[in-house]
Amino acid sequence: MEVAAPARLAAGCIRRAPPQARWAGPIGGSGRSRCPARSYLRSRETVKTVVCYGPWVTEVETDRLVLRPWQSEDLAEFTRLLTDPVVTRYIVVHTPFSPQDVAELSDRTLEQWDRNGFGPWAAIEKATGRWVGRIGLDELADWPGPHKVEVGWELHRAFWGRGLATEGGRAGVRYGFETVGLERIISATMATNTASRRVMDKCGLRFQGELAMAGTTVAWYAIDRADWKAGQATAAAPPTGANLLGAGGPRSTTAFP
C-alpha cells in the first residue's frame, strides 16, 4: 500500500526507494495492496495497532553502503560468499554449504521479502558498486524465543575490518524499529564468533545468554525499541558541557590557585 511519507525516518540516512523497488505485491504476483509490515506483526499478535509507513521504503543508504532488497541475481555473489570456508567458519557447524544450499537460502531470503515486506539486504559499496555482502533483518523461523527477527551480516573478506558490518547493522536496527515497527531485535551467532559479537555490541544489542543449538553453542543479543530510542535521544542531545569561549551551558567552577 502506498501511504504517506515516513516523517520519522532520518533524513539522509534512508532514501525513498525508486518506484519499482517499492512494495508492489508478491514477487511476480498480482500486486496485493496491504502493508507487509502490518500483516507480519498481526500474524504474530504482538501488537494491536501498527502504523504503516510509506511509500514502503525498502532501500537504505548509509555513508558508504546502499542496502537494497534481495534479488535473485544476488545468488552468484552469495554463492561465492558462502562457499568461502573462512567466511562460514562460524556459520556452518560440520558440512560446508553446497551451491544448492546457498540457492535455497537465497530463495528463503526472497520469500521473506515477499511475505513480510522486509528481509536481508544486499549491501553494495557506494564508491565502487561492488557487492559487499548480505546485511539486515532476517526472520529466524526456528528461533525458540518469541522475537524472531534478527539483525545479521555476512561480508566478503575483502570488506572486513572497515566498520561496514556495524554501519549496515545499525541501519538494520533503525529500519526494524522505525519502519517495520518491531518491538525487539535479536542477533545470534556461535559463541566463539568474537567479531560478530563485537558488531552486535556496537549496534547497541546486549548479551542475553547462550543456547545449545544445531550442535553448537550460540550466544544471543537483543535490543528493545525503547532502549534504542533512548540511546538515539542521548546521542542527539546537544552538548551541555563548558566551552572554551564561555558561551552557554554550565561553566567550570574550578578556582585557579
Ligand X SMILES: CC(C)(COP(=O)(O)OP(=O)(O)OC[C@H]1O[C@@H](n2cnc3c(N)ncnc32)[C@H](O)[C@@H]1OP(=O)(O)O)[C@@H](O)C(=O)NCCC(=O)NCCS
70, exposed or middle or buried, with CB in 10 Å at 0-12, 13-18, 19+? buried
Which residue lies nearer to ligand X by CB, 167 or 178?
A: 167
CB of 90 to ligand X, least distance (A): 4
Which residue lies nearer to ligand X by CB, 130 or 162?
A: 162
SS3 232: helix
Which residue lies nearer to ligand X by CB, 75 or 155?
A: 155
CB of 19 to ligand X, least distance (A): 31
Beta bridge partners of 167: none
Closest by CA position to 148, among listed 53, 46, 63, 71: 46
| Chain residues in the site for ligand X (CB under 6 A) | 87, 90-91, 152-155, 160-166, 189, 193-196, 198-199
C-alpha cell at 245: 569561549
Q: How far apart are CA 151 and CA 166, in angstroms?
A: 11
Please, are residues 156 and 87 in contact by the beta-carbon 8 Å criterion? Answer: yes
Q: Please give the helix or strand (H or E) that residue 40 lies within, else none.
A: helix 36-43
Which residue lies nearer to ligand X by CB, 175 or 220?
A: 220
Neighbours of 195 (CB within 10 A): 13
CB of 31 to ligand X, least distance (A): 35
**Placement of cell 560446508 in the chain:** 96
C-alpha cell at 35: 502493508
CB of 245 to ligand X, least distance (A): 33
Which residue lies nearer to ligand X by CB, 21 or 91?
A: 91
Which residue lies nearer to ligand X by CB, 57 or 60?
A: 60
Q: Which residues contact 105 (CB under 8 A, 6 or more apart)?
A: 78, 82, 97
Q: Please give the helix or strand (H or E) that residue 186 lies within, else none.
A: strand 184-190
CB of 87 to ligand X, least distance (A): 5
CB of 205 to ligand X, least distance (A): 12
